[in-house]
C-alpha cells in the first residue's frame, strides 16, 4: 500500500490520514465523515454502518467510500460522486476519466494536464457533502486577510481562454464538486503582472465587489510557503513567495462578445447585424455602471473590451482581467500600456511610438473612450477606425477625429431618433483631448444614461436576455424589441 495512506494527518494530530485501519484491514466507520442523501436531497438521519450492503459493496470494489452513485435512493450524492469521477477527483486516486484535458497521473497521484504533469500530489482529506470547500488557509497580505490555496488542492480541467499574460482554465477543488476558473501565468516574465492583478482583485473585492468577477483567492506552491516558515523561524527576512495562479468564480455563460454575436445572429434590427438601439443602450449603461464602481474606488481598468466583460445568468456585465488596471494616481501615469489597440484612446499611443512626449495624466478617461468605440460598433455595426497594425490604426484614428467621419443617419429610418441620441452621446466620449471628455457627473446626468441608470440601480429594469434552461431567453419587458 502506498506511503501516502499512512502519513499523519496534520489537521487531526495522532490520526493516520487513511481510510483503512491497518490492524483490522477493513474500512473505518464513516458516520462522522459521510452522510448519505435521500431522494429529496436532504441528509438521511440514519448513519451508514459497516453492516450496510451498500458499505460492503463499496469495500468490495476497493473505493474506500460508499458507491452511492449505484443506488437509486441516493440520487444527489450519486451525481456528486459521478461528477468527481468525471473530472478526476483525487479522492479516487487513479480512476480513469474520459476528459482529454485532464488525466489523473500514476506518478504519486499528481495532476497531468495535456500529457504534462504540472502539480504534485497532496494529502488525502475526508470528503464532505457541503457546498463549501474545506481547503485553503488565510494569509495576511498588505494588512488584509486573504484566502489562499496550495497547488495540490486543485484539479485542472479544460482551457477556457488565453490572453496576453495568462491562460484561464476551469478547475475543481478537491473538496468541492463546483467548478471555478483559474488563471495561470504563461511565462515567468508575466509572474509580476499576475501578482499585480491579484492585488487589484483583492482591493476591488473590498471596494467594488458588485462590479467585478468574484475573486476566490491566491494559489501558492506549498514548498515556497514551507520555506518561508523555515526562514522566519530562524529569524531571517524573506521576500513574499511568488503566486502560482489566482482563482476566480467560474462564469459559464460567456463574455459580452459572445452575447453580441448572439444578438447579431438572432436579434438583429439592421442589415449590419446590429441590435435594437435600446438594447445596446442597456448594455452600455450597465458597462458604465461597472466602470463607475472601479473608478470611484480609485482604479482604472486599462483594457475595456467585450472579451473582458463576463455575463451573469441575469444578463448583467461583470468586469474581468485586471492585469492592466492600476490605482489612478500620479506615480502610475507614466507607466506603459498593454491594451487593445483598436479600442485604445489616442493619448495612450504616445507610449507605442517613439518621438511622442508620453502622456502623463489620469487614465480613467481612456476607459471612457473605449466605451464610446464599443457603443459606436453596437449602434452602427462597425468601428469608427480600423487597421491591421499599430501605425495603421493610429493613422486612421487621426483621420477619423480630424475629418469628423461620423455616420450618416437616414431620417426615414424608423430608429433614426434612437440612433441620433446614441450618436450624440458617442461624440461626447470620442473626443481627442482626455480633459475634454465628460466627467462622471456629466455622464450620469446625461439624458441618454440617466433614466436607464436609475431603473437599473433600483432593479426595476431587467436585462434584455437572461440565461434559462441552458440558453439565452428574452425577457417579457424586451420581447417586442428582440
Task: Find out whether 183 is annotated in a ligand binding site.
Answer: yes
Give the integer Cα–Cα distance in Å for 342 and 164.
15
Q: Is 315 helix (H, G, I), strand (E, B) or coil?
A: coil
Alpha helices by DSSP H, 234-363: 256-266, 277-296
Residue 178 · residue 83 · CB < 8 Å: no
d(CA 89, CA 85): 6
- Say which DSSP state 186 is in: S
From the number of C-beta atoms within 10 Å of its C-beta (0-12, 13-18, 19+), residue 69 rates as middle
Which residues are registered as beta bridge partners of 205? none
Half-sphere exposure of 368 (CA within 13 A, CB side): 25
CA-wise closest residue to 473 among 238, 313, 299, 366: 313
DSSP 8-state assignment for residue 214: P
Number of H helices, E strands in the chain: 11, 16
Give the H/E segment covering residue 180. Answer: strand 179-184
Contact 241, 191 (CB under 8 A): no
SS3 221: coil
Q: Which residues pair with 346 in a beta bridge?
A: none
Give CA–CA dist 261/24, Å, rounded. 62
Nearest of 315, 443, 444 to residue 369 by alpha carbon: 443
CB 189, CB 165: distance < 8 Å: no
Residue 403: count of CB within 10 angstroms of its CB = 8
CA-wise closest residue to 243 among 284, 208, 193, 293: 193
CA-to-CA dists, residue 272 to 201, 223, 343, 448, angstroms: 37, 55, 20, 23
| Distance separating alpha carbons of residues 477 and 461, to the nearest angstrom | 8
Cell of 245: 495562479
Q: Which residues are annotated as a binding site?
A: 183
Q: Which residues are annotated as a binding site for ATP?
A: 183
Amino acid at each position: 500500500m502506498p506511503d501516502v495512506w499512512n502519513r499523519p494527518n496534520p489537521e487531526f494530530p495522532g490520526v493516520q490520514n487513511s481510510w483503512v485501519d491497518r490492524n483490522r484491514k477493513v474500512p473505518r466507520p464513516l458516520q462522522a465523515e459521510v452522510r448519505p442523501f435521500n431522494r429529496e436531497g436532504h441528509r438521511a438521519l440514519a448513519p451508514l454502518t459497516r453492516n450496510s450492503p451498500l458499505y460492503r459493496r463499496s469495500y468490495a470494489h476497493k473505493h474506500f467510500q460508499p458507491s452511492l452513485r449505484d443506488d437509486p435512493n441516493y440520487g444527489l450524492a450519486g451525481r456528486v460522486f459521478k461528477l468527481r469521477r468525471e473530472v478526476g477527483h483525487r479522492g479516487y486516486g487513479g480512476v480513469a476519466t474520459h476528459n482529454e484535458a485532464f488525466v489523473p497521473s500514476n506518478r504519486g497521484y499528481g495532476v497531468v494536464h495535456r500529457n504534462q504533469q504540472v502539480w504534485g500530489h497532496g494529502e488525502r482529506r475526508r470528503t464532505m457533502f457541503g457546498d463549501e470547500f474545506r481547503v485553503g488557509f488565510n494569509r495576511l497580505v498588505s494588512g488584509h486577510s486573504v484566502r489562499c490555496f496550495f497547488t495540490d488542492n486543485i484539479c485542472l480541467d479544460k482551457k477556457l481562454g488565453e490572453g496576453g499574460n495568462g491562460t484561464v482554465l476551469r478547475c475543481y477543488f478537491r473538496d468541492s464538486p463546483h467548478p471555478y476558473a483559474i488563471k495561470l501565468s504563461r511565462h515567468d516574465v508575466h509572474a509580476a503582472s499576475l501578482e499585480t492583478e491579484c492585488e487589484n482583485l483583492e482591493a476591488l473585492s473590498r471596494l467594488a465587489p458588485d462590479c467585478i468577477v468574484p475573486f476566490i483567492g491566491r494559489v501558492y506552491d506549498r514548498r515556497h510557503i514551507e520555506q518561508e516558515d523555515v526562514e522566519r523561524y530562524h529569524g531571517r527576512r524573506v521576500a513574499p513567495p511568488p503566486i502560482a495562479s489566482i482563482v476566480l468564480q467560474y462564469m459559464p455563460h460567456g463574455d459580452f462578445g459572445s452575447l453580441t454575436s448572439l444578438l447579431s445572429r438572432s436579434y438583429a434590427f439592421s442589415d449590419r447585424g446590429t441590435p435594437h438601439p435600446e438594447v445596446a443602450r442597456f448594455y452600455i449603461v450597465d458597462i458604465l455602471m461597472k466602470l463607475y464602481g472601479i473608478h470611484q474606488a480609485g482604479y482604472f481598468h486599462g483594457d475595456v473590451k467585450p472579451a473582458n466583460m463576463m455575463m451573469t445568468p441575469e444578463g448583467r456585465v461583470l468586469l474581468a482581467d485586471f492585469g492592466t488596471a492600476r490605482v489612478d494616481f500620479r506615480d502610475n501615469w507614466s507607466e506603459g500600456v498593454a491594451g487593445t489597440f483598436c479600442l485604445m484612446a489616442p493619448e495612450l499611443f504616445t507610449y507605442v511610438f517613439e518621438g511622442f512626449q508620453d502622456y502623463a495624466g489620469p487614465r480613467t478617461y481612456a476607459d471612457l473612450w473605449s466605451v464610446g468605440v464599443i457603443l459606436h460598433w453596437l449602434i452602427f455595426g462597425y468601428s469608427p477606425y480600423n487597421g491591421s497594425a499599430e501605425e495603421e490604426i493610429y493613422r486612421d484614428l487621426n483621420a477619423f477625429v480630424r475629418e469628423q467621419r461620423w455616420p450618416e443617419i437616414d431620417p426615414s429610418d424608423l430608429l433614426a431618433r434612437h440612433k441620433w441620441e446614441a450618436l450624440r452621446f458617442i461624440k461626447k466620449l470620442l473626443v481627442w483631448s482626455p480633459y475634454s471628455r465628460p466627467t462622471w457627473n456629466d455622464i450620469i446626468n446625461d439624458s441618454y444614461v440617466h433614466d436607464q441608470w436609475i431603473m437599473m440601480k433600483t432593479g426595476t429594469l431587467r436585462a434584455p436576455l437572461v440565461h434559462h434552461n441552458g440558453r439565452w431567453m428574452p425577457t417579457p419587458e424586451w420581447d417586442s424589441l428582440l
